[in-house]
Amino acid sequence: MTRAQSIRLRRVAEKYAWLYRDDPEALLQEAFCRALAGERHKPDHVDIVRFLAEAMRSIANGEAQKQENQATIIPIGAPGDLNGPVIELPEPSDGVEDRIMTAEHDEGIRQALFALFPDDPNARDVIDGIMAGYDGEELRALTDLSPTQYASTRRRIRRTIDRHYPNGRKP
Amino acid sequence: MTGTNKKERQPLGRLVDALVEDILAASDEEILAEEAAAGADPAKTADAMQALFERSVLLSNKDKMRRAKAGATAARQVSVVPTVTGTADARERLRRVLASRPADVPLTLAARNESELSDEDVLGMLQDLEELGITLPANKTGG
């Protein structure tokens, strides 16, 4: 593995760990182990770094999914009957309160990222577009940037986030 | 509110996927220059990655060995269960095995008095013989 490949791998691990608040090294080691165990087949034409990056994404995503599937159980007893039988129901995860908190949190993250680019409307537009689900040529066209401007804006976003979150987000 | 909430990950996840895509698409020169600009030593990063990979190989090999051991133990456990259909069959098989021993191999007192052995002892002896690698005939005619 070349130096550049090593750096890429470490940085990809940091990104997924940043998203899932995981440990980058543990994530990378798990990806190595799964590849060595042959759990994931690497087609010949796929770059090894891209292959391991996809493995890390999948591992981190799976871990997060597992946590989500651990439903909270809320006990429900008959009104006024403190000693009677209690029925346990899974707490609905998408209640109104949950949705409001999620929306507030999303907006908080968006604002925190925007604050990194106070004088860079192009970067803010691109971040907004990506977070809204746009990418590639469609996003470039939406932001009215030339291919060169678009590429340099994305580079700037990546470098700025790297600089401000060298150790990932804190819970 | 936890950081692993699916809805939180959706917009942020898209951003992270885009950042990862950019890391993968960047040229080697660019990546090395960024690393140096961040004050990191690319050689040290590469060494650390190599060390992590070697630790992973070790872990993976240990895991393979553990699985192989578990598989071998399971196979042994299956093979040492005497294939008997009843205690009469077990006694018959034990008698045949003992009878087929080489002439210079003496029998223990317990083995000589097979009829006085409990069913459990008979099965235990059959199991011991199989563990010693003595092949038992499958049935009376099978040899």
The ranges assigned to domains in chain A are 1-69, 93-171
Shared domain check, B52 and B35: no
At residue A167, what are phi and psi to the nearest 5 degrees? -115, 25
Q: How many CA atoms lie within 13 A of A83 on its CB side?
A: 0
Q: How far is A149 from chain B (nearest CA, A)?
A: 14
The least confident of A23-37, A136-150, B96-110 is: B96-110
Confidence band of A153 (pLDDT split at 50, 70, 90): very high
Q: Rounded distance, CA A10 to CA A13, Å?
A: 5
Looking at residue B39, what is its pLDDT?
85
* pTM recorded for the entire structure: 0.64
Q: Which residues touch A124 (CB under 8 Å, ≥6 apart)?
A: A114, A117
Tokens of B121: 């002892």
Give residue for tokens 């470098």.
Answer: A159
Name the helix (H) or strand (E) containing A73.
strand A73-77
> Is residue A171 scored above 50 in pLDDT?
no
Looking at residue B12, what is its pLDDT?
85
Looking at residue A76, what is its pLDDT?
59
3 state SS of A87: strand
Q: Rounded distance, CA B29 to CA A3, Å?
A: 10
Q: Which residues touch B127 (CB under 8 Å, ≥6 apart)?
A: B80, B81, B82
Shared domain check, B88 and B118: yes
Contact check, Cβ <8 Å, A109/B4: no
Chain A from 36 to 75: CB within 8 A of any B CB: 36-37, 47, 49-50, 53, 57, 63-65, 67-68
Q: Rounded distance, CA A73 to CA B48, Å?
A: 43
Minimum CA–CA partner of A17 in chain B: B16
Q: How many domains would you assign to chain B?
A: 3
Contact check, Cβ <8 Å, B53/A155: no
C-alpha distance from residue A78 to each of A87, A88, A90, A92 (Å) = 9, 12, 17, 20
Looking at residue B20, what is its pLDDT?
93
Over residues A17-29, the pLDDT tens digits come to: 887 777 899 999 9
Looking at residue A145, what is its pLDDT?
95
Give residue for tokens 């291919």.
Answer: A147
CA angle at residue A125 from A160 to B6, to 5 degrees?
80
Q: Is residue B1 part of a domain?
A: yes
Q: How far is A88 from chain B (nearest CA, A)?
A: 22
Name the helix (H) or strand (E) containing B131.
helix B119-131
Question: CB–CB of B87/B119 below 8 Å?
Answer: yes
Of B5, B9, B46, Cβ closest to residue A6: B46
Mean pLDDT of chain A, nearest integer: 82
Minimum CA–CA partner of A21 in chain B: B3
3 state SS of A76: strand
CA angle at residue B127 from B124 to B130, to 5 degrees?
155
Confidence band of A81 (pLDDT split at 50, 70, 90): low
3 state SS of A86: strand
Shared domain check, B107 and B122: yes
The parent domain of residue B107 ranges over 81-131
Q: Rounded distance, CA A106 to CA B6, Å?
A: 11
Looking at residue B50, what is its pLDDT?
92
Give residue for tokens 């871990």.
Answer: A63
Q: Rounded distance, CA A68 to CA B1, Å?
A: 12
Looking at residue B4, what is its pLDDT?
45
Q: What is the pLDDT along chain B (143 residues), one digit of tens a residue?
A: 334 455 455 788 899 999 999 999 999 999 999 888 888 888 998 999 999 999 999 988 888 888 888 887 777 766 555 555 677 888 888 888 777 777 777 777 666 677 778 888 888 887 777 777 776 655 544 44
Share of chain A above pLDDT 70, in %: 73
Distance from the Cα of residue A137 to its chain's centroid: 22
Looking at residue A84, what is its pLDDT?
64
Q: Would you give the end-to-end CA distance of chain A in angstroms?
A: 33
